[in-house]
Amino acid sequence: MASILVTGCAGFIGSHLAERLLHEGHRVVGLDNFDPFYNRTLKQTNLAQCLAHPHFSFHEADLRHGLDALVDALPADHIDLVVHLAAKAGVGPSVRQPVAYLENNVIGTTYLLEWMRQRDIQKLFFASSSSVYGNTKEQPFREDLNLQATCISPYAASKLAGEQLTYTYHHLYGLDVLNARFFTVYGPRQRPDLAIHKFVRLLRAGQPIPVFGDGSTARDYTFVLDTVEGITRGVQYLLHNTGVYETLNLGNNRPVPLLELIAAIGDAVGHSPELQFQPMQAGDVDITFADIQKAQHLLGYAPQTSLQDGLGQFVEWLDKQEPE
């Protein structure tokens, strides 16, 4: 089995992925900087199962600190493949802190690519985002759409820049790359700032749910274990193929309007939502809608989890963390 570096391993998606890779017999090297965007304790809890596994090692480092920091933090052992999930996430915060997003997601990614080049690591799975599509009118979103003028937030711009960097390293140094555009991932361990997590808390506290816009905006919600399945299949594809440079959507292929989502959360929690309509937020898009045919063809990717089941699993997980 392979030796795989997972950046952002203590996060929502990263911790699930690390557990899955360990379960499949891989050796996992985890890297995280415990960015204070949310509580460090939550991320340490995410890592608990991995830290107990004999084939997992954890290293704390910040990609922004450069090559020397990476060399000092990471073992000299052979690494077959990197899954790069580490990033500063969130559209809204990126509008308020654009420099921080470019430093983390562009400069940090560049340092990682340079470290890979120097270590002669030839395979990369890069986590991009559906935000790169912006408010493009063509739906569902296909990977071959022209994205020259679609990014409407610094976060989106930083992710598209990351994709362009991975192509540069593919072209110059033969790096095998899968860029995967994630679509509104949710489920157990979801960040506290994300909508589903916030809405459940507000409902349980008897507080109104903020609705930005008229409630018709829609997202292609994808359950975290379906996303992890897609990543895992992408890892296997990279390990068994050379000369690879591909960009894929890992979504659910079904946009859910905001009002429908809120009603489904109300059903999962057992509370009737009170709505508080507010203006649209800067940088938000109207809809995300993944065309997943390419991922289906290349990886056999086929998300299995309905919104109802996924929300139920999230609420069950949250109950264990914070019993009512």
Structural domains of the chain ordered from first start: 3-183+224-250+291-304 (3.40.50.720)
Average pLDDT, the chain: 95
Contacts of 318 (CB under 8 A, 6+ apart): 188, 197, 200
Greatest mean pLDDT among 23-27, 203-207, 274-278: 23-27
237 is annotated as an active-site residue: no
Which one is catalytic: 111, 155, 186, 221? 155
- Nearest-angstrom CA–CA distance, 93 and 107: 18
DSSP calls for 26-66: -EEEEEE---TTS-HHHHHHHTHHHHTSTTEEEEE--GGG-
Write out pLDDT tens, residues 201-239: 999 999 999 999 999 999 999 999 999 999 999 999 999
The DSSP bridge partners found for residue 278 are 212
The pLDDT of 131-137, averaged and rounded, is 96
| Alpha carbon 287 to its chain's center | 18
Residue 123 DSSP SS3: strand
Tens-place pLDDT, residues 33-49: 998 888 899 999 999 99
What is the reported pTM?
A: 0.96
323 pLDDT band (50/70/90 cuts)?
low
Place of tokens 């790069």: 84
Average pLDDT over residues 63-80: 93
